[in-house]
């Protein structure tokens, strides 16, 4: 679906707005887990999360394809919203961002700092998304869906960087919310012609992608409750499902306790802050460590935007209550 030249062109565009993020094989982390562990540090980007890349490519595409657009509207738990606010504002567009009630205080503040006009609506991401799409049609703002090929084109560049630097990786673990990250990783892997296995990771209270993958059809779930808010999705996206259903090795689920343990491990061995979704890939590797002994493994640290109170609680040995 994305060729190597298409991802390289996306990377060239992304690099006009931000540098590539690093990937390191951390020796202490590898010693703990019994394998060579490469961490892709999307927490080092200008919004602290991988979504920034998709904002760059989507808004560039929108300005070229729909020059009359006055602004965008989208829904988010935080990282996508920061990305869209940053890119839209830089392009001279208004950015209307919908979040559910009780969303991360610090992510909300960051979205506003990047120029987003924030509205709270609904009890979860899906309710906020439905309202944002309704308002888009009513008021004439350009809707930014949670999954779109122009978002994936930019997001695929992080996996392209990782796999170009470490093509020997046996397996890469990627958290799944709406699916742009795992789809970008699969498409980058395919474009590079590698055999690396891509394993998706969901929260055990938000298993829509895992259930859909295993059933061979789309399966929605009930309410989600996880402090890994970027993974708190209950309705699968068909376009994403088509890519990960064909290209993922498997999808595993992790508990909030496992995510908190992984957050602590990452901080102790790399001194990097990971938000819940950002630590989920490492949590899955910890769960499956026995089958990966001696192998080279990648984990995507998708973001570090965890509220201070929650991070303090995790470092003190607790598990935040969503």
The CATH class of the 4-50+149-315 domain is: alpha beta
Question: Identical fold at 4-50+149-315 and 52-143?
Answer: yes
Q: Are 202 and 307 in contact (CB under 8 A)?
A: no
Measured CA to CA, the distance from residue 300 to residue 49 in angstroms comes to: 11
253: phi then psi, degrees, rounded to nearest 5? -115, 150
CATH fit for domain 52-143, picks 3.40.640.10, 3.90.1150.10, 3.20.20.70, 3.40.50.1100: 3.40.50.1100
Which 8-state DSSP code applies to residue 169? -
Q: What is the DSSP string of 118-139?
A: EEE-SSSHHHHHHHHHHHHHHH
pLDDT string in tens for the chain (322-residue length): 899 999 999 999 999 999 999 999 999 999 999 999 999 999 999 999 999 999 999 999 999 999 999 999 999 999 999 999 999 999 999 999 999 999 999 999 999 999 999 999 999 999 999 999 999 999 999 999 999 999 999 999 999 999 999 999 999 999 999 999 999 999 999 999 999 999 999 999 999 999 999 999 999 999 899 999 999 999 999 999 999 999 999 999 999 999 999 999 999 999 999 999 999 999 999 999 999 999 999 999 999 999 999 999 999 999 999 8
Which 8-state DSSP code applies to residue 167? T
Measured CA to CA, the distance from residue 322 to residue 313 in angstroms comes to: 12
Q: Where are the domains of the chain?
A: 4-50+149-315, 52-143
Measured CA to CA, the distance from residue 71 to residue 143 in angstroms comes to: 9
Instruction: Identify the CA nearest to 71 among candidates 172, 144, 155, 169.
Output: 144
Check residue 1 and give its pLDDT.
Answer: 85
Strands 117-120 and 23-25, by their bridges, are: unpaired
- pTM for the model stands at 0.96
Check residue 245 and give its pLDDT.
Answer: 98
Residue written as tokens 């402090």?
227
Q: Are 251 and 199 in contact (CB under 8 A)?
A: yes
């Amino acid at each position: 679906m994305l060729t190597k030249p298409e991802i390289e062109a996306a990377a060239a565009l992304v690099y006009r707005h931000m540098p590539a993020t690093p990937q390191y094989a951390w020796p202490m982390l590898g010693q703990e887990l019994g394998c060579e562990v490469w961490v892709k540090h999307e927490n080092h980007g200008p919004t602290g999360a991988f979504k920034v890349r998709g904002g760059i490519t989507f808004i560039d595409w929108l300005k070229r394809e729909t020059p009359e657009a006055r602004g965008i509207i989208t829904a988010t738990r935080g990282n996508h919203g920061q990305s869209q606010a940053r890119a839209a504002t830089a392009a001279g567009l208004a950015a209307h961002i919908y979040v559910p009630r009780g969303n991360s205080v610090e992510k909300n503040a960051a979205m506003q700092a990047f120029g987003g006009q924030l509205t709270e609506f609904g009890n979860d991401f899906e309710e906020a998304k439905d309202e944002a799409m309704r308002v888009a049609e009513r008021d004439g703002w350009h809707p930014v869906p949670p999954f779109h090929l122009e978002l994936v084109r930019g997001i695929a560049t992080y996996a392209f960087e990782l796999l170009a630097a470490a093509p020997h990786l046996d397996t890469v673990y990627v958290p799944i919310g709406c699916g742009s990250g795992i789809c970008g990783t699969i498409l980058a892997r395919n474009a590079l012609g590698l055999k690396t296995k891509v394993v998706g990771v969901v929260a055990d209270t938000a298993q829509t992608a895992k259930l859909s993958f295993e059933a061979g059809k789309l399966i929605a779930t009930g309410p989600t409750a996880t402090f890994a808010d970027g993974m708190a999705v209950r309705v699968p996206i068909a376009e994403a499902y088509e890519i990960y259903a064909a290209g993922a090795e498997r999808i595993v689920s992790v508990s909030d306790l496992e995510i908190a343990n992984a957050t602590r491990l990452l901080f102790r061995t790399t001194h990097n802050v990971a938000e819940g979704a950002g630590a989920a890939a490492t949590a899955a590797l910890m769960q499956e460590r026995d089958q990966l002994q001696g192998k080279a493994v990648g984990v995507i640290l998708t973001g570090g935007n965890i509220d201070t109170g929650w991070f303090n609680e995790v470092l003190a040995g607790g598990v935040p209550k969503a």
